[in-house]
Structure 1
Amino acid sequence: MSILTGVLVLAGALLALAGSVGLLRLKSFYERVHPPTMGSTLGTGLILIACIVHFSGIEGRLVLHHLLIGVFMTVTTPVTYMMLVRAALHRDAAEGRDLLALREQRPTAVEAPPQG
């Protein structure tokens, strides 16, 4: 049971780390908002499953009150994600920004910079 708990905690921590790295590496707001959302939801879920396994083993009965944290995280994280993106879209529309034009102006890693 300890090995299973350790593997679940490690997997959850790695997912949260991947979300944090995605936040740092991606360029635009719209690209940056997705990885931390997925990392926190999936990482928290694995860590909560590890808590359920660990404390159920210690107490000798099924411990399920940790599921409340999981339900709260599963409901609030996507809602926050959608509200942030909608607010950014509203802001960009009010400022007259064209999202497709902004995406096309940004050079990718494959493209060479323009020669002047």
Structure 2
Amino acid sequence: MSYFLHLLCLFLGGLFCLIGTIGLIRMPDFFTKMHASSLIETLAAGFILLGLMFESGFSLITIKLFFIGLLLLFTGPTATHALARAAIIRGLDPNKNKKRNNS
């Protein structure tokens, strides 16, 4: 049973990577591309780590993978938010995909 779950999670992680990469290429502006890359990191990496946890069983490796998952869960959205905020501060308008005129 865990072999099936491990393969399913790895397959779903790879599928999310593929779909997210295609979406990343097709998205029109910076903010939607950033949204797609954030989903790639969160969902795909989560499923891949979960699949690796099922494969390794309950061991020290599983605990390490769990903490890596927590690290990705907290740092990914924070980095995405920081990038979006920096783009807005630099003048990129999220509604028009153009630079804002601050005057």
Asked if Structure 1 and Structure 2 have the same fold, meaning a TM-score greater than 0.5 normalized by the shorter chain, the answer is: yes
Please state which band the TM-score falls in when normalised by the shorter chain: 0.7 to 0.9
1:47 corresponds to = 48
TM-score of the aligned structures, taking structure 1 as reference length: 0.73
Unaligned runs of 5+ in 2: 98-103
User: In structure 1, how many angstroms separate the alpha carbons of the residues matched to 2:56 and 2:5?
Assistant: 12
TM-score of the aligned structures, taking structure 2 as reference length: 0.81
Q: Which has the larger radius of gyration?
A: 1
Identity %: 27
1:12/1:76 CA distance change after superposition, 3 Å: same
1:99/1:5 CA distance change after superposition, 3 Å: closer
- Asked if 2 retains the 8 angstrom alpha-carbon contact of 1:45 and 1:70, the reply is yes
1:11 corresponds to = 12
Partner AA of 2:25 in structure 1: L
1:90 corresponds to = 89
Shift of 1:98: 5.2
Q: CA RMSD in A?
A: 1.7
Q: How many residues align?
A: 94
Partner AA of 1:36 in structure 2: S
Partner AA of 1:77 in structure 2: G
1:112 corresponds to = none
* Higher RCO (CA < 8 A, seq sep 6+): 2
